[in-house]
């Protein structure tokens, strides 16, 4: 999360070099309370080998394909 936590990004890194292959802003989130030891992008993304799934501090979820294109966004369930 950048811009003070509002801009939510998913990044793809080269496993061998750590080089950023792509950096996709997926949405802007509404900033709410967060734990002091966390950031607004604390959860680690996961993959099923076909898509990448990520969640953010406001409860929003996103799925991207492996090329960084957004497959879907779900912001229907606000969560803290």
Per residue in 39-68, pLDDT (tens digit) is 776 777 999 999 999 988 788 899 999 999
Check whether 78 has a pLDDT greater than 80.
no
Mean pLDDT throughout 5-24?
A: 94
Contact 48, 34 (CB under 8 A): no
This prediction has a pTM of: 0.81
Q: Is 60 left (phi over 0), alpha (psi -120 to 50) or beta?
A: beta
């Amino acid at each position: 999360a950048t811009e003070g936590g509002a801009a939510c990004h998913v990044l793809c890194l080269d496993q061998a070099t750590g080089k950023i292959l792509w950096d996709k802003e997926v949405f802007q989130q509404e900033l709410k309370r967060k734990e002091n030891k966390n950031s607004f992008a604390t959860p680690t993304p996961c993959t099923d080998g076909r898509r990448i799934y990520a969640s953010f501090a406001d409860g929003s979820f996103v799925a991207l394909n492996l090329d960084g294109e957004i497959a879907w966004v779900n912001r229907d369930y606000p969560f803290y």
